[in-house]
Structure 1
Amino acid sequence: MAKFFTSAWIVFTLLLVSVGVNQLAVNAQTERKAYIVYMGAKLKEEHSVEQPAQHLQLLFQKSVLVLGLVFLSSTLISFVTLEAIVSSGSLSSAKLVLEVHQFILFFVAPVESLIYTYKKSFNGFAAWLTEQESKKLLGAQGVISVFPSRTLKTHTTRSWDFLGLPSTVKRIPEVESNVIIRLIDTGIWPESESFNDNGIGIPPKKWKGICQNITCNKIAVYKVCWKKICLEHDILAAFDDAIADGIDILSVSIGREDIDLADYSESAIAVGAFHAMQHGIFTSASAGNRGFLAVTVQSGAPWILTVAASTTDRKFITNITLGNNKTLTGPAINVFPTSEKFYPLVQDEYCEPDEMDQNLTKGNIVLCNPINLGNDGSGPLVYGAYGTIMIATVGEWDVPYPYPLPASAVTNSDGEYIASYISSTRNATAIIHDSEVVYDPSAPSLASITNRGPSILTPAVLKPDISAPGVDILAAWSPKGLVSRSGHDQRSVMYNIVSGTSQACPHAAGAAAYVKTFHPTWSPAAIKSALMTTASPMKTIDEGESEFGYGVGQIDPVKAVNPGLLYDALEVDYAEMLCDLNYTADKIRIITGENITCSASKGGEALLNYPSMAVYYEPDSFRLRKYVVIILDWKKQMLEPSSILYP
């Protein structure tokens, strides 16, 4: 340490006599680029204290002394704008690193001098250097390589790019800053970098809520769920607060497990969303994750945009190689280090935590059959298995999940093959490889986990309404939250890859907000109409009534800005629909908050001015009448009645 400070003071002395290089300093300033100086593996603990001094000496000797720093009058000016982060090698030297950084900053001010320190995984540092300095550093003792820090593109969730909504799309920033989205679900981790408020500015004047943490990122989040329990009185309170706070868009990624509602007056989400609609607030809600079963869609009220989950063109796979060199591919997110070593492969019928044989599973890869709500990898983890292979059910085979140990999932047929291999081989073995990201040409397709329609309460209103990306979504994560579905998973992360209609719902809310920036006076129904009538046709992995899975198709925010025509609906239209469905005055009052006098029935929900048509009646023909607003000249017109023949 003493040697370092002696060297530093020698440099400081040289600065005082380096007055004649001012112009040279300015020129060098413009030539600097970021370089990474790699010095090999992390130093051992006993050498870590010497490491910062070593790096600083290199930078001073090879950078500062070669090109010089100058004092101009009484101000210290950095000739090289030295920016370096010094590797400490261990946490024990963190204090020393801080002191060294402060020392450097003092002598090179006002130039910001430090970038990064690499002290946990390897020995090295980053610095702003000229090409000449980088070459001289390469010849220094202990330096293995010096290379430019190149600019790379993020490999994060690209769902917005996939939807045709990149960051370069046409925008109206001054209007965007006044659109507030509120999320009602399990809450967020406010400290996440995803929610920082850099460059965002003050909240819009219409915002009447409060910011309870230090950031003000214009995202209103209201926690209504604890440990997967979401109470309806909390949900209604959240809707109530949303209306009072002056928000524009609601994203509701929650729903009921049961679907045996008698009517919409029994649904807190339906009631809350109706009141939000009365105040011009658009509500996007998730369709649910129970999969293939028909008539399971949740949040199907016509005044809500009900969102299904779709895939993007990026998917995660994890390969499995058996001892017979057969390689199988399955959806899973395996982030554990793998050794490319064959492990013994055994089979357990269900892999339940309280039914497994530790003598069978410990240190082995376990084949589990099948995936179910309780089969999340906890059993193999608790009983010491190295890894697990899950046989996925039909409703989950296309969705990769993270597991609490090395894992992959396979189809039923592949699972049968593996089981046959185990039973026919004396010493069955397997390797679980690292996960890979591959291109999915079939996207967008409906995720198998999405609940299917039709709505049990309003079957003549097509539900879900629309699909949005909901598979393999990179999301900010609470470090207190479970990384996988296993309660035994002790890992802590700031980001996670998640799938479900809960991820699709915010995408639709964001698309609605984008449309609203161009058309701030449009009603929630008009925005919904724009999103639905401009959606793109989709594919599904199952045959039959696909529209009851993905609705009108994949959301397209850019096209929705100019839909051509709108199917609008107001509070009175929904009230008339409730009357046609024989709701009592009391039940209508629960939903609308108004005393409604019902007139004669007009034909049920099928006659609602909705942007999709789904007729379940069985006469020879059925006539529908729709009212549209043509966007080009803003004249409201009525389409001629059209006949729909029952197939």
Structure 2
Amino acid sequence: MLLINIVRGKMPTKMLILLGFHSIIRLENPPYSSAGPRHRPLQRSSEAPVAEITKALESEPYLYQTNNSAISHHIAGGFVIICLSLMAVSWNIHAIALAIAIALVLLLQQQCIVLAVVSSNVHIVYMGERQHDETELVTDSHHEILSDILGSREAAMESILYSYKHGFSGFAAVLTPHQAALTADFPGVVHVVPNRILSLQTTRSWDFLQVRPHVEFGLNLKALQMWGWERFRIIGEGYARKEKNSIVPIVIAFNNGECENTLGRKIIGARWYVKGYEAEFGKLNTSDKVEFLSPRDASGHGTHTASTAAGALVENASFVGLAQGVARGGAPSAWLAIYKVCWSTGGCSSADLLAAFDDAIFDGVNVLSVSLGSYPPLASYVEDVLSIGSFHAAAEGISVVCSAGNSGPYPQTVTNTAPWTITVAANTIDRAFPTMIILGNNQTVVGQASYTGKDVNKFYPIVNGEDIAAVDADEDSARSCDYGSLNATLARGKVVLCFQSQPQRSAAYAARAVLDIEGVGVIFAQFPTKDVTLFLGIPCVQVDFTIGTYLLTYMESTSNPVVKFNPSRTAVGQQISPEVAFFSSRGPSSLSPTVLKPDIAAPGVNILASWSPASSSFLLDNTQNQLPLKFKLESGTSMACPHVSGIVALLKTIHPTWSPAAIKSALITTASTKDEYGQISVAEGAPHKLADPFDYGGGHVDPNKAINPGLIYDMKVTDYVKFLCSMGYNDTAISSITRDSSPCQRTPNFLLNLNLPSISIPELKHTVTVSRTVTNVGPILSFYVARVEAPPGINVTVEPSILFFNFTTKMLKFKAFFPDEEQNREAPAKANNILTGCLTVFVALLTGGRGQCAYKVEVGVPLWSMWD
């Protein structure tokens, strides 16, 4: 009726002013969560001053993410119309004002609608365990729910992006916040959460781990978001084994002809997921070859991680001549099923990720390798998509291996903390790339780089970045050689010495900044780390602050300081390793501190693996052309994760009946806390320190020892359900997840008594007793004696002190007693020698005001055993 009046010219100027205010308060139904109260709509009032309406908008706390620019555009639209209306009054030309006002209202309101919806239009509706075995019935139940909300089955089918129906029940759909809140109240719905965008946590390593290049055939390794390219060929129907839980051959969606004769008998299926991503960001642009609307890898990350886990042997692999050797994965005979959920233009949609989990469970994979995650604050275990998907995967006997994150060395930054996953930190290996820096006074210092190009072995002038700062640059930026912070004229033709002023400042960005202003080299003094920066345009040599200061002293001692570089070379066995990487995220878990995370550490620094030639490598030569690469060095917990995935694949071949918890236990209890010289391992940081379980969990992974752990800490799905109950989740949510109507059994202290191969006590204010159950998987006739090295100031005892196993006794329980602080003061702890053995309990103590500390208690090797 309003538009009809406008068209007929019957609406007075006063009404036009009201229309301006209406456009300001158009967002009358602010979004809300099913977890919180509904917000009252703003009052429509033509008498309300604009300032009051603006204040009202700002005071409404949206629980769902809303695009602030949409609100500001909408308010701006209202002001424009009001101004035009007032002009029309003074000029008495209503027709012109009406025409312009209508156009602006329609235009700005349309823009507002688009901007406001983009950030929260995709919602994931999680419904727990399936109610029906028939997948069609599960999907029908999803349509029925949305039909009630949206008004028709057709609207429901159009709204749903994915129907999760194999491993669990739920769906991803395009919903308004109001519709999402109504859906959350529907019976059987556990949670409705907005779609989140997750991020990737981005040769010699297997020799370093002493893994032989051999594994039994017939293993299915699922590489989530890992899509291989080089040396693989898709095979047709019938190749996969037909037995139960064998992977189902998948319809391939590569572009016609783009992978002909390039794929080998490695990948037996490939899927890709883009609906959640495109619902957030719009249609994917594939015209410029930055991305492929197919399983093909455009970023290189997936190819790198997949080949690390299960790549075949490749002779003479190297990165521009460095790290040359035979490249191979940990399980080179394993098959790969590819599930591409991450896109090089914007991350990984959680709706797509959950769909991949659902399909992987249906396909019957053995191992899920997930090199991605989010950042704190962490979502709850019944809201986090990765926790949900991995829970249902573990319930089907699938081991889920995740990266710990790259937010180190700061505490409480570890991600992917669910107790049913294996969370992997990153450590170093014994390979380095030393690069000699020769000074004009014939002195030599050594840094690390990856440069083998031209223009080396020639002296160049060297300048300090802080001394050649641009006019408008601050000293801190110039010191780190940030982009635009240096005087181009003074840097041209020179080597620039830069100092890392903050951990976020990197050598790569400094090198790019210097290259763009025609500098010829960079020496980057930084916090000590073994992670080499890959930059091929000009030499970029990393040194520590000591060497950087030495170079600065040399520069100040002469009027013509010069340096030259020798080409980088590969050195093996010349640096102490393993050490926890600087960037690797640290515990304790910010969500559940009684669950020690990370679980294990594996090689994740300077890892050579396959790379997609289609990827934009960001490695520039001297002409600034992008270099196609077949192998690349990469660092990150994303690289550490597939190392453990490959080892898990080996263990599943050797021990096919072991549960995911048993495999996780074997990895943790046999891990090493020492470096190659038998000393306590170090964790890189600022400063370095001795590593503890918050850095690497059980320690550095030892694949060979994990084959025979002796004793394991096993768990079933019911244990995880009790854990969720003890976390405080309500009975309705738990029963929906498990389809068990029994009320939650909230056992006292169950969070501490979850049968993990670790004990983590947030605050030891009172005497604590923790129980664990171990299963003998070693010699049938054996007994174990406890030998305890107590943490300083803590008197820890284990009862019984001797565990006997025989033909009828395969499982036994023991208890660990931790006295409170007062008792510990009265009875100082004894420090006995540790016997590294088969029964290992890690003790992590968060001691209130005294900060955090972590220790390891080991209960030793069998004194006597007999093989059957």
C-alpha deviation, 1:584, in angstroms: 2.6
Q: Deviations over 1:364-407 (max 9, x none)?
A: 2112221635652220121122111112235xx22112114211
- Give the match's secondary structure for 1:303: coil
Q: Which residue of 1 aligns with 2:546?
A: 413
1:316 aligns with 2:433: yes
Q: Which residue of 1 aligns with 2:227?
A: 188
User: Structure 1: how far apart are the matches of 2:234 and 2:746?
Assistant: 54
Judge conservation of contact 1:308–1:501 (CA < 8 Å) in 2: yes
Instruction: Sort the Cα spacing of 1:321 and 1:266 in 2 relative to 1 into closer, same or farther, 3 A.
Output: farther
User: Structure 1: how far apart are the matches of 2:563 and 2:635?
Assistant: 27
- Give the match's secondary structure for 1:530: helix
Instruction: Sort the Cα spacing of 1:392 and 1:277 in 2 relative to 1 into closer, same or farther, 3 A.
Output: same
Q: Which residue of 1 aligns with 2:802?
A: none
C-alpha deviation, 1:544, in angstroms: 5.4
Candidates 645, 655, 662, aligned match of 1:509: 645
- Give the match's secondary structure for 2:373: coil
Judge conservation of contact 1:446–1:550 (CA < 8 Å) in 2: yes
Instruction: Sort the Cα spacing of 1:305 and 1:639 in 2 relative to 1 into closer, same or farther, 3 A.
Output: same
C-alpha deviation, 1:196, in angstroms: 6.2
Write the letter of the residue equivalent to 1:602.
P
Q: Which residue of 2 aligns with 1:249?
A: 367
1:372 aligns with 2:504: yes
Q: Which residue of 2 aligns with 1:150?
A: none
Gaps of 5+ in 1: 1-156
C-alpha deviation, 1:601, in angstroms: 3.3
Instruction: Sort the Cα spacing of 1:545 and 1:472 in 2 relative to 1 into closer, same or farther, 3 A.
Output: closer
1:639 aligns with 2:813: yes
C-alpha deviation, 1:189, in angstroms: 4.4
Q: Which residue of 2 aligns with 1:163?
A: 209
1:277 aligns with 2:394: yes
Alignment of 1:468-487 (within 5 A): 468-484=602-618
Deviates more, 1:601-610 or 1:457-466: 601-610
Judge conservation of contact 2:608–2:633 (CA < 8 Å) in 1: yes
Q: Which residue of 2 aligns with 1:341?
A: 458
C-alpha deviation, 1:329, in angstroms: 2.1
Instruction: Sort the Cα spacing of 1:545 and 1:503 in 2 relative to 1 into closer, same or farther, 3 A.
Output: closer
Judge conservation of contact 2:611–2:629 (CA < 8 Å) in 1: yes
Q: Which residue of 2 aligns with 1:466?
A: 600
Q: Which residue of 1 aligns with 2:555?
A: 422
Q: Deviations over 1:331-377 (max 9, x none)?
A: 32223234311111122223222333221222221122216356522
Q: Which residue of 2 aligns with 1:390?
A: 524
Instruction: Sort the Cα spacing of 1:375 and 1:543 in 2 relative to 1 into closer, same or farther, 3 A.
Output: closer
Judge conservation of contact 2:722–2:746 (CA < 8 Å) in 1: no
User: Structure 2: how far apart are the matches of 1:509 and 1:210?
Assistant: 22
- Give the match's secondary structure for 1:639: strand
Candidates 216, 235, 238, aligned match of 2:265: 216
Judge conservation of contact 1:318–1:432 (CA < 8 Å) in 2: yes
1:202 aligns with 2:239: yes
C-alpha deviation, 1:627, in angstroms: 1.2
Alignment of 1:571-590 (within 5 A): 571-585=717-731, 588=734
Instruction: Sort the Cα spacing of 1:486 and 1:295 in 2 relative to 1 into closer, same or farther, 3 A.
Output: farther
User: Structure 2: how far apart are the matches of 1:269 and 1:490?
Assistant: 35
- Give the match's secondary structure for 2:694: helix
Judge conservation of contact 2:401–2:645 (CA < 8 Å) in 1: yes
Q: Deviations over 1:5-57 (max 9, x none)?
A: xxxxxxxxxxxxxxxxxxxxxxxxxxxxxxxxxxxxxxxxxxxxxxxxxxxxx
- Give the match's secondary structure for 1:640: strand
Write the letter of the residue equivalent to 1:410.
V
C-alpha deviation, 1:625, in angstroms: 0.9
Alignment of 1:437-456 (within 5 A): 437-438=570-571, 439-456=573-590
Instruction: Sort the Cα spacing of 1:307 and 1:440 in 2 relative to 1 into closer, same or farther, 3 A.
Output: farther
Instruction: Sort the Cα spacing of 1:378 and 1:626 in 2 relative to 1 into closer, same or farther, 3 A.
Output: same
Deviates more, 1:499-508 or 1:225-234: 225-234
User: Structure 1: how far apart are the matches of 2:774 and 2:725?
Assistant: 23
Q: Which residue of 1 aligns with 2:799?
A: none
C-alpha deviation, 1:182, in angstroms: 1.5
User: Structure 1: how far apart are the matches of 2:386 and 2:737?
Assistant: 10
User: Structure 1: how far apart are the matches of 2:527 and 2:664?
Assistant: 34
Judge conservation of contact 1:270–1:591 (CA < 8 Å) in 2: no
Aligned length: 477
1:265 aligns with 2:401: no
User: Structure 2: how far apart are the matches of 1:381 and 1:596?
Assistant: 66
User: Structure 2: how far apart are the matches of 1:373 and 1:182?
Assistant: 35
C-alpha deviation, 1:300, in angstroms: 1.3
1:540 aligns with 2:682: yes
Q: Deviations over 1:517-545 (max 9, x none)?
A: 01112111111111111112230143256
Alignment of 1:83-232 (within 5 A): 157-167=203-213, 171=215, 173=216, 177-185=217-225, 187-190=226-229, 192-193=230-231, 195=232, 202-205=239-242, 206-210=246-250, 212=252, 214-217=263-266, 218-227=335-344, 229-232=347-350
Judge conservation of contact 2:447–2:542 (CA < 8 Å) in 1: yes
1:400 aligns with 2:522: no
Aligned-residue Cα RMSD (Å) equals 2.6
Identical positions, percent: 37
- Give the match's secondary structure for 2:566: strand
Write the letter of the residue equivalent to 1:368.
C
User: Structure 2: how far apart are the matches of 1:355 and 1:620?
Assistant: 55
- Give the match's secondary structure for 1:309: strand
User: Structure 2: how far apart are the matches of 1:645 and 1:440?
Assistant: 44
Write the letter of the residue equivalent to 1:600.
R
Judge conservation of contact 1:460–1:606 (CA < 8 Å) in 2: yes
Q: Deviations over 1:180-216 (max 9, x none)?
A: 112223x4341x13x4689xx9333311142635533
- Give the match's secondary structure for 1:496: strand
Q: Which residue of 2 aligns with 1:91?
A: none
Instruction: Sort the Cα spacing of 1:420 and 1:358 in 2 relative to 1 into closer, same or farther, 3 A.
Output: same
C-alpha deviation, 1:414, in angstroms: 1.9
User: Structure 1: how far apart are the matches of 2:228 and 2:565?
Assistant: 33
Judge conservation of contact 2:456–2:567 (CA < 8 Å) in 1: no
Q: Deviations over 1:226-274 (max 9, x none)?
A: 2351221121122112112111001111111x21124222322111111
Judge conservation of contact 2:240–2:248 (CA < 8 Å) in 1: no
Deviates more, 1:563-572 or 1:543-552: 543-552
Instruction: Sort the Cα spacing of 1:369 and 1:260 in 2 relative to 1 into closer, same or farther, 3 A.
Output: same
Instruction: Sort the Cα spacing of 1:178 and 1:235 in 2 relative to 1 into closer, same or farther, 3 A.
Output: same
C-alpha deviation, 1:490, in angstroms: 1.8
